[in-house]
Amino acid sequence: MQQLHPIIQRLFDKKGFNHKMIEDFLSWDLKTIPDMSSLKDLPKASARIIEAIQKNEKIGVYGDYDVDGTTSCALLYHFFKMIDVEINIVQPSRFIEGYGLHLSSIDEAVKNDIKVLITVDCGITNNEAADYAKERGVDLIITDHHKDGRDKMPDAFAVINPNRRDELDTPHHDQLKTLAGVTVAFALAVQIRTDLNNAGKNIPSLYSLLQFVAIGTICDLAHLSPINLKLVRHGLKLLKETNYPGLRAFFTSEELKAKTIPSEKLAFHIGPLINSKGRLEHPEASLQLLISDNVEKARAYYELLVSCNQERKFIQNEVFSEAREQVVRELKNTDGEHLITIVYQPHWHEGVIGIVASKLVDAFKVPAIVFTDSEQHGIIKASCRSAGSLDMFNELKKNESLFIKFGGHKAAAGLSMPKENLRAFIDGMNNSLKDIPAITRTRMEFYDLDIDASEINPQLMRDLDLLEPFGMGNEKPKFRIKGVKLVSFDLMKDVHVRWNLSKEKTKLKGISFNYVGKFDTTSPAEIYSTQGLKHEDLSVYFTLGLNRFNGNESIQLMIDKLEFD
């Protein structure tokens, strides 16, 4: 193993990693990942799909409307295209059908003469739809990764879900429990390929499909366990030279010339664009982009998503501003501890409440639940986001008697309930959270290491790339430098700040996005004017990034905050 930059070595030392553990963490070896073929019902599902192919029966794929569901649909589309099988793909509308598999979806499958219907990233709580599929003669194959939360599992032909109640409880399987929906779909494709090859066929490698696995895993905030780290690393490597026109559309030529594609590109650019269409209307354009077979068509769909995303940002900012004001107002009138943010307005756009919940967690450091009116009179629905290590799904389950339906996982969930139950729900959540230690249920402010400004150099940036991908469970390292001086600052678009700092002889350039107006932050002007009057050190908290402009690269600090210690 190469000699690592001292800062990287100190990061590993802090985690208590020895030489072997460091090698394992940095490994790309796909031969060491847990055997996904051990998932229950996988062989059974594969056999039924192969039988459908042989009998020329129609196969349908039904996917959720978010990034994980859309990449899952695209992955299976490309897989079946590789084996020369045409499939029907259906995605519901967030606003008409809503999340999950519905009775109307089964009727549509029957109408289209679909004999085998495969769900991706949904289905584990849709018992009624599973019963109806059986009644109508449709063999339902559920692939999902959400928690198996009903009294019993759906009575489908096959249920492939690493989080189903009767899966093995072993260290090997603990890794599989972290898989995103797209990787469960990938596991199905791998099993079908294996079975076809064992039957004498010659099916090409599915390695290229890891590009979709990478996007879905990062954007669905799947925990970056060793299996996910390895799969995403390969997916990021493939994205750099992608042959899929729909994926190529997301990247500038300058980005593709860079040494690596960072996971942040997926989390903050590709994911929001894919999600944007499903947040405001039907997600079809996002899927059409991912399965496009020519550059012109892909470019047209990409531009459509860019336009849609701009509209999404505008709506989201309005809703967040109103929600934030509601919280601040309530905090002024409440003496007790702020345990959870729960807000509601009937007019808020349903498609952005999940992002707004995430932004409220960022702002107030506690779990957030954002309600709005549903299409059905008297029924409200919500998106929920956790903070710290709190298991949001389990907390909601304590109040499930109040809901019409709910589902999700530890970090994020959704629910719907009669509006009249809102007060009881707020009281119930607050009562259960007050007994949980604050360190479990709040987003703690932390940094990984104190470093010296002189230690920031190109080798550090190269070695940080070795730690990729960053995301849930492998957060990008945050550093602190004490005793800096704010030399100057510039405001950009009234909300972003460009900082010029110095520490002794070292000059540092940094940027903070959406800094102005953030809850509980000191304004740049106040920091600048008071730094000479304070006795404390001015410290900067940041992650590291590269600024690319006109073919040149420079290191910049992605500054979270400046404060006096």
Which positions ≥6 away from 371 have C-beta within 8 Å?
342, 343, 344, 345, 348, 353, 380, 381, 382, 422
Residues 72 and 209 in one domain: yes
pLDDT in tens, 296-312: 999 999 999 999 999 99
Q: Which residues pair with 61 in a beta bridge?
A: 89, 118
Q: Is residue 24 part of a domain?
A: no
Mean of per-residue pLDDT scores for the chain: 93
| Count of domains forming the chain | 3
CATH number of the domain encompassing residue 216: 3.90.1640.30
Which stretches within 369-523 are classed as H helix? 392-397, 422-433, 438-441, 458-466
pLDDT of amino acid 283: 78
Residue 427 sits in the same domain as residue 493: no
186 & 202 share domain: yes
Average pLDDT over residues 368-380: 95
* Residue 314 in domain: no
Is the residue at 23 inside a domain? no
Same domain, 206 and 119: yes
Whether 100 and 131 map to the same domain: the answer is yes
Q: Which amino acid is at 112?
A: N
- Please say if the pLDDT value at position 95 is more than 70: no
Q: Is residue 469 part of a domain?
A: yes
Indicate if 237 and 340 belong to the same structural domain. no
User: Exposed, middle or buried, 416 (CB in 10 Å: 0-12/13-18/19+)?
Assistant: middle
Residue 408: which CATH number? 3.10.310.30
pLDDT of residue 93: 74
Spatial contact of 130 and 140, defined as CB atoms under 8 Å apart: yes
In a domain, residue 509? The reply is yes
pLDDT of residue 254: 86
Q: What is the DSSP letter of 304?
A: H
**Distance linking the first and last C-alpha atoms of the chain:** 38
> Given 257, 282, 304, which residue is the final one in a domain?
304
Q: How many CA atoms lie within 13 A of 355 on its CB side?
A: 27
Domain that residue 287 falls in = 34-304
User: 550: domain CATH number?
Assistant: 2.40.50.460
Position 438 pLDDT exceeds 80? yes
Statement: residue 1 has pLDDT above 70: no
The reply to whether 428 and 462 lie within a common domain is no
Instruction: Select from 384, 406, 441 the last residue of a domain.
Output: 441
One domain, residues 221 and 174: yes
The average pLDDT across 335-347 equals 94
Q: Of 417, 441, 465, at which residue does a domain stop?
A: 441
Q: Does residue 27 fall inside a structural domain? A: no
With bands split at pLDDT 50, 70 and 90, how would you rate the model's confidence at 100? confident
Position 443 scores a pLDDT of 84
Q: How many CA atoms lie within 13 A of 291 on its CB side?
A: 22
* Residue 328 belongs to a domain: no
468, 401: one domain: no
**How many residues can be counted in the chain?**
565
Identify whether the C-beta of residue 158 lies closer than 8 Å to the C-beta of residue 144.
Answer: no
pLDDT at 378 over 70: yes
From edge to edge, which strands make up the β-sheet containing 506-512?
A: 449-450, 479-481, 538-549, 552-564, 506-512, 496-503, 485-492
Task: Supply the pLDDT for residue 371.
Answer: 98
Query: For residue 26, what pLDDT band results from cuts at 50, 70 and 90?
Result: very high
Within a domain: 7: no
Is 154 in the same domain as 96?
Answer: yes
- pLDDT tens for 309-320 read 999 999 999 999
- What pLDDT score does 191 carry? 98
Joined together, the tokens standing for residue 19 give 């030489």
* Confidence check: pLDDT of 282 > 80: no
- Is the Cβ–Cβ distance between 341 and 368 less than 8 Å? yes
Do 80 and 160 fall within a single domain?
Answer: yes
pTM, to two decimals: 0.90
d(CA 490, CA 433): 41
44 and 190 co-located in one domain: yes
Tell me the pLDDT tens digit for each residue of 504-520. Answer: 989 999 999 989 877 77
Q: Examine the pLDDT at 50 and tell me if it is beyond 90.
A: yes
Model confidence pLDDT, tens digit, residues 521-531: 889 999 999 98
